[in-house]
């Protein structure tokens, strides 16, 4: 099993190195004429006012939160799905209860308006 | 030292180094990115222990969900000026306590496995996921924790939505 | 010994291994070299394939829009993408003032790397695959997380509020659509009993899209949204929103974001083909592994053509429509389908395969009809008259002959 992960590790290194080398080569080939006007932050042609920060809405945080809950739920379900073909009916009903509880949570979030983009 | 031990040592240094950098970072966004490196290091250690499922779960849940949540939270609460004091008044006391705990742990664990630092090589036919899945829903196994976990997730969802809407209410 | 034509890659690999062993190289180094060569070849092949893909897409989109695509550079414009790549190599790398150097430069590299890393676990034929990872499917989903981090790095590193906002919007869309994707990917795992992509391919006597068309549809649409392609491409809309996370990038760094998008698009078609369309399976694929390659690429090519068709014909969704579709339609649907399929498939265990296929198809059709009814009833509720009842028009006959409302003449 470790050798498969070794391949994954090597592949990751290659996958990171290839674009990095290409960008490096392009950096060598391309002209370099830094110029404060060119490097000014783009804001539809208007000068930037104030430092860079963005007042984020709570909405993004709620989406990330609901995603986290469902991500953890799916991860708990994957071992069950692997064992699915050998499981008795009771075990399947257990998983259905698990899913139903979370479906209920989703409906709660829906009713509360946590899922509206606004 | 064989290859696996080298991998462990390097990864351990990387992880601890990233954790230290995270605490010492000046900007919160950098701290979040160092956290990503530290979590990746932990994932690699799981791989060296042949726990592929947990390594992938580490990547998927910690880096893919929790880190993104942290980044959004940083964006949400960012003040324009980051010039507040970096370390609070109790920082040195906290560092002392952490060093003490570290020393206690190191000395107590050094007594366990003196000289035996090899890793068990599990056979190629060892598959941990099927027994895990069966154990999770086995009534003699972890069925109750499995269901309790879903209720816990539900509670977290409801609680967070409630708090977020309180905040939204007081803001608007 | 396999003949060359039956299985060229394995043949070459065995030849190389024997050569190295005969030179006295130790076993572990042979393994390392084999992995390194395989990885480099695969990654390079994937990137070169993107070039072909660029040409195909531009030609087809052109035809869909009733025009010829590129046709000047080379026969049928085949050399157009190469010309584009050469051009972009020579553009200046402008780093915006105040940009955070490391995230700014790391982002395009990670973006492409995330798309490439998926190719490591895909089984290309019965004998050719990168890593036979026993957690293959989860690896596919986890690598998406790396892509999301890359986008955050890009938005943050650009020191530009619009880039940051665009990046956060994009990430919000990507993480939202991860949920139905992860949930519907549970269905092939349930049917085949393993997370290993090879095992999933081998378990598809009947393609999983036949056994579970609705989860396959959810997975497909969710992956289209994950890639950020039309009709879900508002965060990166080229002609709309002022920015997008890649606004401050120029030169090859921008080029790599573009390449990453196309690579991701083909990669998700490849994943869909492996998970639901039977991967390399087909007549004669076991005996002649080369055919496995051909089948896989035909299938993923067909899926990719479908994606191009989406792009050329469907209008863009608004961001609130995108989120609504995900959380209010796809996620509950995926959860309910999981519950239903789990229950139904239990009772079909050990039965005749044909019965299983028919019952599952029936269940899916039923679910689809219910969904259709629910969605259209919501549509009817939402369609309310926004205009007032018709008032008399100022026309001569209304003025000369006053109506009941008493319009004065």
**In this predicted model, what pLDDT tens digit does every residue of B100-109 receive, in sequence order?**
999 998 888 8
Q: Is B23 domain-assigned?
A: yes
pLDDT at B95: 85
Same domain, C63 and C98: no
Label residue B125 by pLDDT band (50, 70, 90): low
Label residue C239 by pLDDT band (50, 70, 90): very low
- What percentage of residues in chain A have a pLDDT greater than 90? 35
Same domain, C222 and C364: yes
Q: Look over chain B and give the mean of its residue pLDDT values, rounded to a whole number.
A: 82
Q: Is B95 domain-assigned?
A: no
Last-in-domain residue among B80, B104, B137 = B80
pLDDT tens digits, residue range A26-69?
Answer: 888 777 777 777 776 666 555 555 455 556 677 888 889 999 99
DSSP letters of C33-64?
A: HHHHHHHHHHHHHHHHHHHHHHHHHHHHHHHH
What does the pLDDT average to over A66-93? 91
Query: Which residues in chain A are closer than 8 Å to C263, comparing Cβ atoms?
Result: none
CA atoms of C140 and C271, how far apart (whole Å): 8
Last-in-domain residue among B45, B80, B115 = B80
Contact (CB<8Å) C148/B129: no
φ, ψ dihedrals at C371, nearest 5°: -60, -45
> Cα dist. B98→B102, B103, C77, C324 in Å?
6, 9, 65, 47
Same domain, C166 and C235: yes
pLDDT tens digits, residue range C326-367?
Answer: 998 899 999 999 999 998 888 888 777 888 888 888 888 888
**Would the pLDDT of A104 be above 90?**
yes
Same domain, C64 and C211: no
Q: Is C393 domain-assigned?
A: no
Q: Is C272 domain-assigned?
A: yes
Candidate from B138, B149, B168 with C-beta closest to A58: B168
pLDDT at C409: 40
Same domain, C77 and C98: no
The total number of structural domains in chain B stands at 2
Q: Which has more confidence, C290 or C409?
A: C290
| Interface contact C32, partner B, CB < 8 A | no
Q: Is C400 domain-assigned?
A: no
φ, ψ dihedrals at A39, nearest 5°: -90, 5
Q: Is B53 domain-assigned?
A: yes
CB C171 within 8 A of CB B69: no
Please give, rounded to a whole number of angstroms, the shortest distance from the CA of B59 to a CA of chain C.
6
Q: Is C149 domain-assigned?
A: yes
**Would the pLDDT of C159 be above 90?**
no
Least confident span in B80-84, C103-107, C231-235: B80-84
What are B162-166's contacts with CB under 8 Å, separation 24+? B164/A58, B164/A61, B164/A62, B164/A65, B164/A114, B165/A112, B165/A113, B165/A114
Same domain, C186 and C127: yes
pLDDT at B155: 94
pLDDT at A13: 92
Last-in-domain residue among C43, C65, C90 = C90
Q: Is B86 domain-assigned?
A: no
Tell how far CA B30 is from the center of its chain: 17
CB C50 within 8 A of CB A19: no
Residue with the two structure tokens 């060892």: B126
pLDDT tens digits, residue range B56-91?
Answer: 999 999 999 999 999 888 887 766 556 556 667 788
**Would the pLDDT of C81 be above 70?**
yes
> How many other CB atoms are found less than 10 A from the CB of residue C90?
12
Same domain, C313 and C176: yes
Q: Look over chain C and give the mean of its residue pLDDT values, rounded to a whole number.
A: 84
The total number of structural domains in chain C stands at 2
> Cα dist. A2→A95, B47, B49, B141, C25 in Å?
32, 8, 9, 29, 21
Q: Is C218 domain-assigned?
A: yes
Same domain, C338 and C370: yes
User: What residues contact residue C141 under an 8 Å CB cut-off, 6+ apart?
Assistant: B60, B64, C178, C181, C182, C185
Domain of B169 in residue numbering reads as 127-172
Label residue C185 by pLDDT band (50, 70, 90): very high
Same domain, C18 and C106: no
Dmax over CA atoms of chain B, in Å, equals 63
Q: Is B103 domain-assigned?
A: no
Q: Is B97 domain-assigned?
A: no
Please give, rounded to a whole number of angstroms, the shortest distance from the CA of C198 to a CA of chain A.
13
CATH number at residue B6: 1.20.120.1200
Same domain, C77 and C118: no
**Would the pLDDT of C99 be above 80?**
no
Domain of C83 in residue numbering reads as 1-90
> Cα dist. C310→C17, C69, C266 in Å?
45, 17, 14
pLDDT at C398: 67
Within 69-98 of C, beta carbons closer than 8 Å to A belong to 88-98
Tell how far CA C12 is from the center of its chain: 31
Same domain, C194 and C65: no
In 3D space, the residue among C326, C325, C278 whose CA is nearest the CA of residue C302 turns out to be C278
């Amino acid at each position: 099993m470790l050798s498969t992960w070794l391949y994954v590790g090597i592949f990751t290194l290659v996958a990171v190195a290839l674009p990095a080398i290409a960008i490096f080569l392009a950096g060598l080939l391309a002209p370099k004429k830094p110029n404060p006007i060119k490097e000014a932050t783009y804001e539809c042609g208007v000068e930037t006012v104030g430092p860079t920060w963005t007042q984020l809405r709570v909405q993004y945080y709620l989406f990330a939160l609901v995603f986290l809950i469902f991500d953890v739920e799916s991860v708990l379900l994957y071992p069950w799905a692997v064992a699915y073909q050998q499981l008795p009916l009771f075990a399947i009903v257990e998983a259905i209860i698990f899913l139903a509880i979370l479906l209920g949570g989703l409906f709660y979030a829906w009713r509360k308006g946590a899922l509206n983009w606004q | 030292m064989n290859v696996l031990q080298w991998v462990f040592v390097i990864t351990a240094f990387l992880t601890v180094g990233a954790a230290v950098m995270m605490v010492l970072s000046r900007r919160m966004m950098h701290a979040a990115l160092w956290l990503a490196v530290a979590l990746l290091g932990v994932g690699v250690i799981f791989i060296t222990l042949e726990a592929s499922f947990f390594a992938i779960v580490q990547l998927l849940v910690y880096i893919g969900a929790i880190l993104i949540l942290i980044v959004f939270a940083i964006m949400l609460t960012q003040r324009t000026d980051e010039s507040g004091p970096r370390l609070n008044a109790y920082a040195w006391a906290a560092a002392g306590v952490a060093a003490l705990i570290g020393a206690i742990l190191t000395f107590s664990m050094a007594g366990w496995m003196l000289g035996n630092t090899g890793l068990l090589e599990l056979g190629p036919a060892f598959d941990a996921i099927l027994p895990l899945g069966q154990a999770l829903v086995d009534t003699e196994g972890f069925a109750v924790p499995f269901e309790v976990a879903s209720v816990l997730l539900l509670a977290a969802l409801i609680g967070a939505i409630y708090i977020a809407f309180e905040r939204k209410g007081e803001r608007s | 010994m396999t003949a060359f034509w039956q299985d060229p890659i394995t043949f070459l690999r065995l030849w190389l291994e024997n050569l190295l062993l005969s030179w006295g190289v130790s076993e572990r180094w042979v393994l390392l070299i084999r992995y390194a060569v395989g990885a480099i070849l695969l990654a390079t092949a994937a990137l070169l394939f993107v070039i072909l893909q660029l040409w195909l897409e531009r030609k087809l989109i052109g035809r869909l829009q009733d025009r010829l695509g590129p046709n000047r550079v080379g026969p049928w414009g085949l050399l157009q993408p190469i010309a584009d790549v050469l051009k972009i190599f020579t553009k200046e790398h402008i780093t915006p003032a105040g940009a955070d150097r490391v995230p700014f430069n790391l982002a395009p590299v990670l973006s492409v790397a995330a798309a490439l890393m998926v190719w490591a676990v895909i089984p290309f034929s019965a004998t050719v695959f990168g890593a036979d990872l026993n957690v293959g499917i989860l690896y596919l989903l986890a690598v998406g997380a790396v892509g999301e981090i890359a986008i955050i790095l890009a938005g943050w590193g650009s020191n530009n509020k619009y880039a940051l906002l665009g990046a956060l919007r994009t990430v919000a869309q990507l993480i939202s659509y991860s949920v139905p994707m992860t949930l519907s990917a549970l269905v092939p795992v349930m049917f085949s009993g393993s997370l290993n992509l090879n095992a999933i391919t081998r378990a598809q006597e009947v393609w999983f899209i036949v056994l579970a068309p609705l989860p396959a549809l959810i997975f497909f649409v969710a992956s289209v949204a994950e890639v950020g392609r039309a009709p879900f491409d508002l965060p990166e809309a080229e002609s709309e929103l002022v920015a997008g996370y890649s606004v401050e990038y120029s030169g090859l760094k921008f080029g790599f974001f573009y390449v990453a998008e196309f690579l991701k698009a083909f990669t998700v078609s490849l994943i869909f083909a492996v998970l639901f369309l039977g991967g390399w399976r087909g007549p004669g694929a076991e005996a002649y592994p080369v055919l496995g390659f051909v089948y896989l690429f035909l299938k993923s090519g067909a899926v990719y053509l479908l994606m191009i068709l989406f792009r050329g014909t469907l209008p863009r969704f608004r961001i609130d429509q995108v989120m609504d579709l995900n959380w209010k339609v796809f996620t509950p649907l995926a959860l309910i389908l999981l519950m239903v399929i789990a229950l139904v498939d239990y009772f079909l265990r050990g039965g005749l395969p044909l019965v299983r296929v028919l019952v599952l198809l029936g269940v899916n059709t039923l679910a689809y009809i219910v969904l259709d009814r629910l969605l259209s009833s919501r549509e009817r509720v939402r369609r309310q008259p926004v205009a007032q009842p018709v008032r008399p028009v100022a026309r001569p006959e209304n003025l000369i002959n006053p109506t009941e409302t008493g319009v004065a003449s």
